Structure 1
Amino acid sequence: MFEGKDLRFASAGVGGSVALADAMVIPLRQTAVRSWIDRIGELDLVPDLGEDVGSIRWFRGLGTLTALSVCALALLPDFGPVFGAQPALPTEAEFEEARAQMIMPIAFGSDSGKRMAATDTVVALAGSPERPRIELTATLGRGDSFSRVLQRAGVGGGEASLVTSMVSSATPLNGIEPGTPIDIVLGKRTTKNVARPLESVAFRARFDLNLEVSRSGNSLQLIRKPIAVDDTPLRIRGVIGDSLYRSARAAGAPATAIQDYLKVISGRTSLSTLRSSDEFDIIVDYKRAETGEVKVGNLLYAGVDREGRSAIQMLKWTVGETSQWFEASGVGESRGALSRPVNGAITSGFGMRRHPILGYSRMHSGLDFKASYGTPIYAVTDGTVAFAGRKGGYGNFVQLNHGGGLASGYGHMSRFAVTAGTRVRRGQIIGYVGSTGLSTGPHLHYELYRGGRAVNPMSVKFTQRAQLSGNDLARFKGRLNSLKSVKAGAALAPLRPTERVQEKPKREIDRLTQNMDGRPPRG
């Protein structure tokens, strides 16, 4: 059914029929024909995946995302190297042309620039000229030979042996310190197949002696040049204060001397008994040369001045072939089998006793030494630390193996100073007195083992104390009074000026520019 004016054509015969047909076809012509591209375009291929999860529309979007991801991965670029055309290598002629423009270092021969053939005006030399003299400095290495040092420097074997013999007559060759510089001057030789003649050798043989071997005519002469040395010992005094070590270091005492000082004093009394008002007294071997060098030696004297108590005075003295520390009265220690592990009295011996904590009798397999908390404990002799740790009723325990089936044990320590496997020397600190384990108070429990079994430590005598007498005691007292008469810091006083011989110039330019009167040139 059609509306409007189109209905009027229905009554108009054939013309009306045609018009009616056209009216019916017009709506069909107005409907566009849709292709498959249009249909795909109407599909929602990229929906929001956060909506309608699990629906056909959601799975269609997931498929689109997967396809795009696969395409993106497939189109990733390759990160491999990009190979280009290799440049052609220069020819020999091109290389030599470029080499002519280079600057080559001396280490590589410095052979650059244009190469030109010699002309007829060039005359070849029969031989290259030699330097009239060679001045060099060699260094004596550790374990090296004085003669080998000279020969490596170019001195002939005969002259090297002669110089070595002359030097050994003035000072022992093994007394020359490693690292000593040796100034050598070689003269001009007659032919190239012989060694250069030696003109002079100069070096410092000892702290107080310079030696020089110089040529005079056809022979070599040894010249001794003694060096004035002030051997006044260095004495350092001061108040102990809060820390003996820090106070001594602040006063200028060397660190090695302080360590030796603490070891000597702790062997005489417990360091914890020292008061802050007490004064330390340290004397070390000290030498000063007129050339300005200083040589600090070993500790000579260790003392403590204590208010209201007897002073500690320990002097190092040599008896026979061994050196040891003696008190001012001449009492010292001689080398024995074992030294005491701690400075204190024995409070409990070896054998059966009633245990103070457990309350019943049992074997006491060692010695108990009375000592205050923190007192150093020393190795009775050389050995190796076999154990260092916690051990039942012993508390903190250290065992040393000394070889020959002999071992020693130290219990109830407050802390350790060594670890397992450490090699220790006689008198070395291995720990400190404490009260760990089954202990009623600070002390040292010391045990001695032979063949793995505990034995009475008293069966092996500790170091016995020696007593000087007669002339030995008189010389000892004289040395002690001589050291104590040295004023603190006297070794640091300025040296008296001495007349010094002017040194010969070592450089050729200095020798040529030196004035005839021996003074260096002005300006």
Structure 2
Amino acid sequence: MFKSREHFSGYEAGDRGGPGVGAAALTHAQMLGEPELFVHNRICSYAERFAAWKEAAWQRAQALDLAPDLAEDIGSARWFRGAGTLLGLTAVALAFWPDFAPLEAAPAMTIDPAARDEFRSQMIMPLALGADSGRHMGATQAVTPLHAAPERPRVEMVATLAPGDSFSRMLQRAGVGAGEAARVNGMIAGAISPGDIASGTRVDLVLGRRTGTDEARPLESLSFRARFDLEVAIDRRDSGLVLVPRQIRVDATPLRVRGIVGPSLYRSARNAGVPAHAVQQYLRTLATNGSFDGELAAGDTFDIIVAYKRAETGEAQAGDLLYAGLERGGKPRAQLLRWGANGQFFEASGVGESRSGLLAPVNGRIGSPFGMRRHPILGFARMHKGLDFKAGYGAPVYAVTDGRVTYAGRHGGHGNYIRLEHGGGLGTGYAHLSRFAVSSGAQVRRGQVIGYVGSTGLSTGPHLHYEMYRGGRAVNPASVQFVTRAQLSGQELAAFRARLASLKSVASGAALESLAPTRTAALDEPTREIDRVARVKPQG
């Protein structure tokens, strides 16, 4: 639209007397006029200056390099300049982001309060939210308002005794008054201690009509299975609440199962009817018995006897493994009988199960071995008479084998310390404990918790210092390997053999025979009316 400044340079030259060109320029100047020429020159000057500024800005931008490759020259000023550009652009993008929540489409129709109420009346609301949906007919003259809603004359329910709960608190939660719950608790104590009632016991309750809105419902009847061989019921009669206990006849014939091992001993025993926990005990007993060695053959015969109880009401209860036998070709390969208060298995000859090696006293790795070392607190070298196990504060400490607690208390630099004697001149010590789980003079078994890891005494942190003594002298616990076996003798051996013969005389499957439905004598006279007064539902 405008001519460049160079186009009018001829006009200036013509003005100075240049040949030819000045005439052409003068003609053009005369054509534009002086004001138009002045404006034209100013515009051209601004255009030139803008072009020069734009070129200089472009040169500076190229030299600045705001978007370099961030994979190159990491940590340089150029790299940080590029990182700043990236963060700035990210901030701008987030600033213009509409919202982080999902975009909601506009409703297809306008929902006014009347339409919302109509929709709600057609909904099915959950009970947790009141279930207040649906249409409700307005009251007419035929409706008579009530002063209070009528109550059910009787309420039948089942309450469950929770772990750690008391019987009286359970009754109060079910709606029985505090005074009556305490009276019932005292009555039940006449048949069985309330503390002996197992958690999870289900109690059938019947509550009667209450006399006032601010009073608890009276107890009409109560019944539950107190023990496997005892049912207890309480019934309200003219004289008040009456305790009605009833003994249940129980057959304790052990369950004996014999069968062929086959391709899988576990599957064969389970298919034969042996409980799962008894099969696991059987396998573990054979594995830990030192006299049994070798592999099981498919043609071997297993012989398993389990403690078993059957009530005349039809329930059955399987207990622990009593006898573990294994035969090959009609000859016994293993005969193990549970004997004694500790439940240890003994061979038919009276020799107890073998236990080799030592149990780790705590779950943790060894941090400091046995031998000379520089004491971390005292600062000089001295003999380290044990092994230090790294473990967290409060971790359980186990007895490495059977023994007797000869000391449990504070012991100098050992802090809280336990000393066990295992017989044969062998003893073990456990130091720096936070607290004890046994007391002096107690008998402990292998794997029993005797204390908990701490940092008492000369200790820089929670750990277990474990020592072993032989003949009163400290030895390296890692170098000791031994086998413990018990031996019965005298009258105890005779009683053991009599028990073994008695169990082996039990016929296979004899415990599963039908039990005649006869009941023993009741603890008191009202028991004869139990079936018609408050029928007790047995709990299996």
When residues 244 and 82 of structure 1 are mapped into structure 2, their CA distance, relative to the original with a 3 A threshold, is: closer
CA distance in 2, matches of 1:132, 1:385: 64
**2:211 paired with 1:190:** yes
1:64-99 Cα offsets, whole Å, 9 max, x none, are xxxxxxxxxxxxxxxx99976874442x55655x36
* 1:240-264 Cα distance to aligned partner (Å, 9 max, x none): 3444334333332222212211222
**Larger Rg, first or second structure (1 or 2):** 1
Gaps of 5+ in 1: 1-79, 342-378, 388-398, 409-424, 429-447, 508-523
Report the counterpart of residue 325 of structure 2 in structure 1.
303
State the shift of 1:171 in Å: 2.0
Unaligned runs of 5+ in 2: 1-101, 367-386, 392-396, 402-444, 449-465, 520-527, 536-540
CA contact (8 A) 2:226 2:232 kept: yes
1:475: which partner in 2? Answer: 495
**Cα pair distance change 1:106/1:86, threshold 3 Å:** closer
Aligned to 2:243: 222
Query: 2:363 matched to which residue of 1?
Result: 384
Give the SS at the match of 1:268.
coil
CA-to-partner distance for each residue in 1:21-41, whole Å, 9 max, x for gaps?
xxxxxxxxxxxxxxxxxxxxx
Instruction: Assess if the C-alpha contact under 8 Å between 1:383 and 1:400 holds in 2.
Output: no
Q: How far apart are 1:205 and its partner, in Å?
A: 0.8
Q: Does 1:151 align with 2:130?
A: no
Could you tell me which amino acid in structure 2 is paired with residue 477 of structure 1? R
d(CA) in 2 for partners of 1:281, 1:114: 71
The total of aligned residue pairs comes to 334
Residue equivalent to 2:346: 326
Q: Which residue number corresponds to residue 60 of structure 1?
A: none
1:340 paired with 2:356, answer yes
Q: Distance in 2 between matches of 1:275 and 1:111?
A: 70
**Match for residue 254 of structure 1?**
275
Change in Cα spacing, 1:168 to 1:461, as seen in structure 2 (3 Å) is: farther
Deviations 1:263-320 (A, max 9, x none): 222313344255544422110011122222221110011122345866532211124x
Residue identity opposite 2:363 in structure 1: T
Match of 1:269 in 2: 291
1:444-463 superposed matches below 5 A: 455=476, 462-463=483-484
SS of 1:204 mapped into structure 2: strand
Contact kept, 8 Å, 2:290 with 2:353, in 1: the verdict is: no
CA distance in 2, matches of 1:328, 1:154: 58
Query: What secondary structure is seen at the aligned counterpart in 2 of 1:170?
Result: coil
User: Per-residue deviation at 1:331?
Assistant: 3.0
Q: Give the Cα separation in 1 of the matches to 2:339 and 2:482.
A: 23
User: Is contact 2:324-2:335 (8 Å) kept?
Assistant: yes
Q: CA deviation at 1:212?
A: 0.3
Q: What is residue 445 of structure 1 aligned with on the other side? A: none
**Partners of 1:140 and 1:294 in 2: how far apart?**
22
> What is the match of residue 157 of structure 2?
136
SS at match of 1:331: coil
TM-score by length of 1: 0.54
Deviation at 1:479, TM superposition (A): 1.9
Change (3 A) 1:293 1:225: same
What letter matches 1:219 in structure 2?
A: G
Distance 1:235 1:309, change over 3 A: closer
Matches of 2:131 and 2:477 in 1, distance apart? 79
Contact 1:203/1:210 (8 A) holds in 2: yes
| Change beyond 3 A, Cα 1:283–1:103 | same
Label 1:133 to 1:465 Cα distance change in 2 as closer, same or farther (>3 A).
Answer: same
Structure 2: which amino acid aligns with 1:237? R
Q: Is 1:171 aligned to 2:150, yes or no? A: no
How has the CA–CA distance of structure 1 residues 278 and 486 changed in structure 2, closer, same or farther, with 3 Å as cutoff?
Answer: same
The aligned amino acid for 1:126 is H
Distance in 1 between residues matched to 2:321 and 2:511, nearest whole Å: 15
Instruction: Please show how residues 412-451 of structure 1 align to structure 2 within 5 Å.
Output: none
1:335-355 CA-to-partner distances (Å, cap 9, x unmatched) read: xxxx413xxxxxxxxxxxxxx
Cα distance in structure 2, aligned partners of 1:405 and 1:141 = 31
Q: Which residue of 2 aligns with 1:492?
A: 512
1:286 alignment partner AA:
Y
Change (3 A) 1:158 1:242: same
Question: Helix, strand or coil: the match of 1:245?
Answer: helix
User: Aligned partners of 2:477 and 2:335: how far apart in 1?
Assistant: 34
Q: Which amino acid aligns with 1:340?
A: S
Q: Distance in 1 between matches of 2:400 and 2:308?
A: 40
**Inter-CA distance 457–326: structure 2 relative to 1 (3 Å threshold):** farther
C-alpha displacement of 1:124 = 3.5
Query: CA distance change for structure 1 residues 83 and 152 in 2, over 3 Å: closer, same or farther?
Result: closer
Task: Show CA shifts across 1:347-387 (max 9, x none).
Answer: xxxxxxxxxxxxxxxxxxxxxxxxxxxxxxxx636643649
CA displacement at 1:103 relative to structure 2: 6.3
CA distance in structure 2 between the aligned counterparts of 1:254 and 1:327, rounded to whole angstroms: 23
TM-score, normalised relative to structure 2? 0.52
What whole-Å deviation, never above 9, does each CA across 1:372-414 have from its counterpart, x for those lacking one? xxxxxxx636643649xxxxxxxxxxx9969889999xxxxxx
CA-atom RMSD, angstroms? Answer: 4.2
Distance 1:325 1:305 in 2: 18
CA contact (8 A) 1:234 1:284 kept: yes
User: Structure 2 vs 1, CA of residues 89 and 272 (structure 1 numbering), >3 Å: closer, same or farther?
Assistant: same
SS at the partner of 1:150?
helix
Higher relative contact order (CA 8 A, sep 6+): 2
How far is 1:328 from its partner? Answer: 2.3
